[in-house]
Structure 1
Amino acid sequence: MDAAAGNLTAVNATAAPGAGAASGPEELWQTLVRERAPLAALLLLFSAATVFGNGLVIVAVARERYLHTATNYFVTSLAVADCLVGLVVMPFSAAYEVANHAWFFGIDWCDAWRSLDVLASTASILNLCVISLDRYWAITDPFSYPARMTGRRAAALITAVWVCSGAISFPAIAWWRAVRPEHVPPYKCPFTENLSYLIFSSTISFYLPLFVMVFTYYRIYRAAVVQTRSLKLGTKQHTQLVITHSQVLRKD
């Protein structure tokens, strides 16, 4: 910490008012936390609520056998991804925000944290995409859906989601380090600005799932409209038949 104390000028430039008098990283951190304690408490509350809510989903599906369906497995996978966000990503993001974008945890954990952020966010979006596909298959082809969406196929889709998310996140650490400037300023946690990686990752983890979800939910909406019309038409025809039958009985 003594060597790091000489680099506090870069941190003090972004620190909250009153933090400039800090003489070391520990004092600076304590000052920032003290002055921005309400913000820190609010952000940590969001993190705890995220973990608690998604943890309840995981426990419920794990304990209740009647919830062991393909759809609920996808929901559980989504809850695991969101729990990872609440446990690992959000607390350090809160600390980063409270410290006015000063990073006190080292460059190695910075890269790992950024990678976990990409992993969990991508897994969350891809799980939403798989859920939309699952609902699309269930509604548009309800008779063959149980045979199509078996437990083994659901497990394969969940595995594909996490493998794809991991392939986008963890190997990218080497890429980030290769393309960024050689020297990272003290107490900074930069994210890569490499355009190729940003386009590739955003396409796989956002734009492609967005297109799939818009398509599937539009088709689900159209199928729901058709089924609603069919139900209304069937009800009207049934009502007309009942009235006609009643009139015939009265004439007799």
Structure 2
Amino acid sequence: MSTSDQTELCYPHLGNSSCRRTVRPHSVSVLLHIILSSISVLTVTLNLMVIITISHFKKLHTPTNFLLLSLAVSDFCVGFLFIFQILLMDGCWYLSAGWCVFYTVFVVVVTSASIGTVVLIAIDRYIAVCDPLHYPTKVTVNRAKICVVLCWVCSGFCHTVRLKDNIEHPGEFNSCIGECVASAHPVSRITGVVLNFIFPVTIILLLYVRVFVVAVSQARAMHSHVAVVTPHGSLKVYRSELKAARVLGVVVVVFLMSIFPFYIVSLLAGPTKVSLSFLVFVICLYLFNSCVNPMIYVFLYPWFRKSLKYILSFQILKSGSSEANIL
């Protein structure tokens, strides 16, 4: 076996039983590792800031923010899982089969919980904008917490069942040594696409279309000085809810743009029918969304920018800092 052939194998000493890896120029490989590692660190750091902010400051303990907290937790986990994707960038898995199972199952559970949380956010904004008078009674902190817990539990249960064979027989479905794949029945794979993409995306789009229609009609009413029969001060509350809907609408749009290519590949082409480089790209784009979300908060949420100053200046360590009004 020639030296050039050996460099294309994940485990050269195993010969033909080893998987082949994608060979890139050293400079390109180093650059990709630096970029992806930076994204991983940035994702973990920014989402940790969101988690600390919402958890610490009592003024932020609202139903909407608890949903954002759930999204930040899932994004925080994705930041760590990015490390495994970096290991797979060249098509070789150098860890044990058990770690492969952990990665494949956990990444599906976390991303599924993230998608479920985005659906809950869309429902929250729909009620806040379309039925503002009953929002405080329909959407409470306790109900938001229960929905978040159910979202995570259902995600964990469903995908653990779907990938049961992989969990019970680690590495059995690998075609060569150095591969890390999750095998699922075609029906199970289609079901996963429906539950994780088609169904939630349909709900999200329908709800936000309705929110947009209501927002436009309310804006026209306000510009036309039409009297709205609502309690005093409710117009100010409505504007606040509408602003929150716009911010979270940006989160949803970016989220859909990030996951769309991955599920199109999964549904139409199938991961085995595309090049490794393109597959790595769509997966990284899918995971990169977890880094974008907290950036959106930085630019569009004043309270997040203010809380960052508290954290970075260590004022958060002072007694009574949790009572600070950062809104």
Q: If the length of structure 2 is used for normalisation, what is the TM-score?
A: 0.61
- Look up the match of 1:191: 182
Q: Distance in 1 between matches of 2:106 and 2:171?
A: 22
Deviates more, 1:202-211 or 1:212-221: 202-211
- Look up the match of 2:205: 214
Conserved in 2, the CA contact under 8 Å of 1:126 and 1:161? yes
The counterpart of 2:58, out of the listed 58, 65, 70, is 65
Question: Do the aligned partners of residues 86 and 180 (structure 1) sit closer, same or farther apart at CA in structure 2, a change above 3 Å counting?
Answer: closer
- Look up the match of 1:148: 138
Give the 3-state SS of the residue equivalent to 2:199 in structure 1.
helix
Q: Distance in 1 between matches of 2:182 and 2:134?
A: 46
Structure with higher RCO (Cα < 8 A, 6+ apart): 2
1:38 to 2:1 alignment: no
Q: Distance in 2 between matches of 1:178 and 1:218?
A: 43
Deviates more, 1:161-170 or 1:63-72: 161-170
Conserved in 2, the CA contact under 8 Å of 1:132 and 1:217? yes
Conserved in 1, the CA contact under 8 Å of 2:119 and 2:200? yes
The counterpart of 1:14, out of the listed 10, 21, 28, is 21
Question: Do the aligned partners of residues 181 and 196 (structure 1) sit closer, same or farther apart at CA in structure 2, a change above 3 Å counting?
Answer: farther
Which has the higher Rg, Structure 1 or Structure 2?
A: 1
Conserved in 2, the CA contact under 8 Å of 1:50 and 1:86? yes
1:78 to 2:71 alignment: yes
Q: Distance in 2 between matches of 1:188 and 1:67?
A: 44
Conserved in 2, the CA contact under 8 Å of 1:48 and 1:86? yes
Give the length in aligned residue pairs. 216
- Look up the match of 1:234: 225
Q: State the 1:196 CA deviation.
A: 1.1
Q: Which stretches in structure 2 are left out of the alignment for 5+ residues?
A: 1-10, 228-327
Residue identity (%): 26
Which residue type is aligned with residue 48 of structure 2?
Answer: G
Q: Distance in 2 between matches of 1:49 and 1:8?
A: 39
Question: Do the aligned partners of residues 11 and 167 (structure 1) sit closer, same or farther apart at CA in structure 2, a change above 3 Å counting?
Answer: same
Deviations 1:38-70 (A, max 9, x none): 211111111111111111111111121111100
Deviates more, 1:226-235 or 1:213-222: 226-235
Q: Distance in 2 between matches of 1:12 and 1:150?
A: 52
Q: If the length of structure 1 is used for normalisation, what is the TM-score?
A: 0.78
Q: Distance in 1 between matches of 2:178 and 2:44?
A: 28
Give the 3-state SS of the residue equivalent to 1:171 in structure 2.
helix
Q: Which stretches in structure 1 are left out of the alignment for 5+ residues?
A: 19-31, 237-252
- Look up the match of 1:175: 165
Conserved in 2, the CA contact under 8 Å of 1:118 and 1:168? no
Q: Distance in 2 between matches of 1:36 and 1:227?
A: 53
Which residue type is aligned with residue 6 of structure 1?
Answer: H
Give the 3-state SS of the residue equivalent to 2:182 in structure 1.
coil
Conserved in 1, the CA contact under 8 Å of 2:162 and 2:184? no
- Look up the match of 1:90: 82
Conserved in 1, the CA contact under 8 Å of 2:51 and 2:72? yes
Q: Distance in 1 between matches of 2:59 and 2:31?
A: 43
Question: Do the aligned partners of residues 12 and 165 (structure 1) sit closer, same or farther apart at CA in structure 2, a change above 3 Å counting?
Answer: closer
Which residue type is aligned with residue 199 of structure 2?
Answer: L
- Look up the match of 1:27: none
Question: Do the aligned partners of residues 227 and 157 (structure 1) sit closer, same or farther apart at CA in structure 2, a change above 3 Å counting?
Answer: same
1:201 to 2:192 alignment: yes
Pairwise CA RMSD: 2.5
Q: Distance in 1 between matches of 2:155 and 2:57?
A: 28
- Look up the match of 1:242: none
Give the 3-state SS of the residue equivalent to 1:190 in structure 2.
coil
Structure 1 outlier segments of 4+, above 4 Å: 8-12, 177-183
1:163 to 2:153 alignment: yes
1:43-54 map, 5 Å: 43-54=36-47
Q: Distance in 2 between matches of 1:52 and 1:10?
A: 40
Q: State the 1:145 CA deviation.
A: 0.4
